A = this chain, B = another copy of it.
Amino acid sequence: MNDATTTTADLKARVLAFARERDWEQFHAPKNLSMALAAEAAELMEHFLWVTPEASREVAVDPAKRAKIAEELADIVIYALEFANITELDVATIIGAKMEANAKKYPVEKSRGRAEKYTEL
């Protein structure tokens, strides 16, 4: 299983099967999954709390930390996919729609090299 050959549907099916086998769908209400997502995102963030953004690039490739960081990222995507399973959202479709909307908010010529929010461009 790798990114080049795995579809989002494959990943979603694997996550759903795991939950079903354990009869965990009863706990996977959108409220609870959104909390779990936020909690995992915070765990990822904890690796970078006190370093500068530049230094965080080194942290992410530090062999002593990379495995743990990969696990936190995996947890985030797993919960996001399970949220999509439970709410019957098609991830590729909503990403496509969001990126089209973002392209309008952030036209290349106005936003190149700038980090401001679209309301401040």
Q: Closest 5 A-B residue pairs measured CB to CB?
A: A42-B42, A29-B53, A31-B56, A50-B115, A74-B98
Nearest CB of chain B from residue A62's CB, rounded to whole Å: 11
In the bound assembly, the distance between CA atoms of A44 and B77 in angstroms comes to: 14
In the bound assembly, the distance between CA atoms of A29 and B54 in angstroms comes to: 6
B46 touching A39 by the CB < 8 A rule? yes
B74 touching A77 by the CB < 8 A rule? no
Answer whether residue A87 sits at the interface, using C-beta atoms and an 8 A cutoff. yes
Instruction: Count the copies.
Output: 4
A84 touching B73 by the CB < 8 A rule? yes
B23 touching A112 by the CB < 8 A rule? yes
Which residues of chain A (74-117) have a CB below 8 Å from chain B? Answer: 74-78, 80, 83-84, 86-87, 89-99, 101-103, 106, 108, 111-113, 115
Q: Residue A76 contacts which of B1, B23, B80 (CB distance < 8 angstroms)?
A: B80
- Given A2-B90, A15-B99, A60-B87, 9 other A-B residues pairs in contact with their CB atoms under 8 A: A4-B7, A5-B92, A14-B95, A14-B96, A30-B69, A41-B42, A52-B53, A71-B97, A76-B80
